[in-house]
Each structure stands twice: as structure tokens, then as C-alpha cells.
Amino acid sequence: MEPLIQSSHHAPRDVSGVANRPCLSRRGWNCGRVREWFRLHHAERDGYFVRLIVLLLASLTAASASATEPPITAAAFAPNGTSILVGSQRGIAVLSWPELKQTSPLPTTLAHVNDLRFSPDGTQLAAVGGSPTESGGIEIYGWPAAKLLHRETIGEDIIYQVSWREDGKVLATAGPDLAIHLLDESAKGIRGFAGHSREVTTIAMLPGGYFVSGSRDQTLRVWREETGELVRTLNNHTNAVHDVAVRPGSMNAPYVLASAAADKTVRLWWPVRGRLMRFAKLPSPALDICWTKDGTALLAACADGHLRIIDPDTVQISADIEVADRWLYTVAAAAHTGQAFVGGSNGVVKAVEQGQR
């Protein structure tokens, strides 16, 4: 194969005018010849770098052209289980389940949709996101009419996640502005909390008047909702926390919470007591986690494109399912069917049997 840059053959240059000058290099070369060598050498080197940059730009352009769809960053099953809502930079789409055929879009003004959550009674849907470094937003829809009820701007940066209180009257949001916002059912602000030193990435309301936040500062923090008191700081993770999920059926203390982080672990906690119960080590970081509806398994969507199912009692991986060759950003468990939805890079949407390997 021919080299990227061909050597140039130049006619010998007349350097007689400098040949007899007394200035010599350390190696005894005439200074004029040294300058000539550097001129030719640098010209060839510069040409190489120009071509290299052109090749790199062409590769990046080709990669961008192949990635025509934005990643799926949010998903929530409709209460009747016959459809699933998915969010991305294209907005919110309603897909049939398990066929995953688009039935209708849900109008939204959110430039990025980062999270979708139905209220505990299934009558309302909260969507959060916004525009990075500009504004965060929340939209609340009545369901199943899919009618917009409330829309509010929250802060000056995007919102990552939202969680409903068990009675559906209060919501909590997490985002990169280091603050946690509590909202009423019309999305109006009630109060804010601060305590993390880096972006707040995840939030979960607990029964009994508590909620838990996770952050890129590697900690989980347990708060008392009514007073804003910081009850516990859980610092066992050794890298950024990605997600938290409350185990179904944990309606009485001590409650069970799962957390996933960039340290490739999923940890199970009694959060209010501040006790780490056990943890699972994964081959790849989980970016999103959710429990099956009966709480017997934990589903982890991982950065290597695998869906991993974890037994919470043994913290062993009971199934490892290769879904895609790129990042999975969201997972949702279907009710009563043993299936799960996963979404990820380049618009990947798939229905997965939890028992497959």
C-alpha cells in the first residue's frame, strides 16, 4: 500500500551563498543547509497533519450520518399495559406493546425528554427535561386523555428525573443545578433542598415522609420531606450515582432501595437506617434500573448494550441479555408478562423476554 504522504523530490538548491559562512551547528552542518532541511521537513509534516485532519473529519461525518436517530432516554408503561411511552430529543411517542408500533405522538415543548413517570393512581403523567444550560421543564398530562394539565419552568438547567409521592400530591425533581425541587400536583414549587456538591442525577420518594437523592458526588442522601432535614449520607459508591429505585411492596420501614453507579455496582439499602444490605458487581455500569412489578428481580440497562437481571436475595445475575452493541439508557418492566422494554443509542427500542439469555 502506498504511504499516506509521498516524498517530494526537489532539485538541489544552490546554497553557495551561505556555504562559506562561519555559522555552524553543533554537528558541523552549515546553517543554510540546516534551515533548508527544516523548511522541507516541516512542509512535509504539515501536509501529513492536514491530510490526517481531513480523514478524521470524514470519519466523524460518516459516523454522524449513520447515527440518524437520537437515543431513547425515557420510558414508562401506560397503566393499562397495552402501550409504552418513550422520550427522546424527538419528543414523546406512544408505542403499542409489545409490537412497538407508533400509534401517536404526545405533544411536548421539552427539547430533551429525560424522564417519564405515571402517578401512583395512573391518572397523570409527568414528563421532565428541558434545554441544557438554559432551562428545565416539567409537563403534567391527564391520562388516558393525554391532555396537558400543567407546564412549568424549573431553574436554569435541564431536569434529569422526577418522582411522585405515594399519594400523588407531591413530586420531586433532580438536575445539574445541585438542587432538589419539591413541587405540588400542579407543578408549582413548594421548596428546594441543597446538599450535594455535584449534579443531582436521580431522585426517589419514599413512604413515610422521606426521599432519597443520588449524585455525581458519589453519594446518596436521605431527606425528611417536611423539614428538609438531611437524615443520612450514604457514601459506599466509588463513582457517580446513575439511578435509584424503590422496591415494590416496601411500604413500611425500613424500605428497600436499589442504587446503580458508574463504579459497576448495584447496591441494595435500608436507606433510612443507613444500612447497606448487599451489592452486585456488574461487567458494565448500569445507566438505568427498575424492579419487576412484584419486586422479585431488578433489571439493569447497561452501558455495554446488555440487559442484566439481578436476583435481589443473592445479588447474582440471573440473566444476561445482549440487546444492542451500544449504550442502553432506559428500562421498564411490563406488568404480568415477564417482558421488559429497553431503549438506547441510535433510537434502539426493543421488547425483551426477561427469561432469555
Q: Are 92 and 37 in the same domain? A: no
My answer on whether 274 and 192 are in the same domain is yes
d(CA 278, CA 282): 13
pLDDT reported for residue 291: 97
7, 41, 66 — which closes off a domain? Answer: 66
Q: How many domains does the chain have?
A: 2
Write out pLDDT tens, residues 142-162: 999 999 999 999 989 999 999
Residue 39 and residue 136 in one domain: no
Q: Which amino acid is at 186?
A: S
* 53 and 79 share one domain: no
Given this model, what pLDDT does residue 356 score? 65
Q: Are residues 58 and 179 in the same domain?
A: no
* Residue at 15 is within a domain: no
12 assigned to some structural domain: no
Contact criterion met (CB below 8 Å) for 346 and 326: yes
For residue 10, is it within any domain?
no
Report the predicted TM-score, pTM, of the whole model to 2 decimal places.
0.81
In sign, the C-alpha dihedral spanning 40, 42, 44, 50 is: negative
pLDDT given for residue 42 in this prediction: 47
Instruction: Using 50 as the pLDDT threshold, list the residues of the chain that sit under it.
Output: 1-56, 58-66
DSSP 152-173: EEETTS---EEEE-TTSSEEEE
Tell whether 131 and 222 lie within a shared domain.
Answer: yes
Question: Domain range spanning residue 220?
Answer: 74-353
Q: Are residues 52 and 136 in the same domain?
A: no
Of 198, 209, 141, residue with least CA distance to 172: 209
Same domain, 26 and 95: no
Please, are residues 81 and 96 in contact by the beta-carbon 8 Å criterion? no
Q: What is the pLDDT of residues 256-270, one digit of tens each?
A: 999 999 999 999 999
The reply to whether 133 falls in a domain is yes
- pLDDT score, position 6: 30
Same structural domain for residues 59 and 123? no
Taken as a whole, the chain contains a residue count of 357
Rounded Cα gap, residues 236 and 238, in angstroms: 6
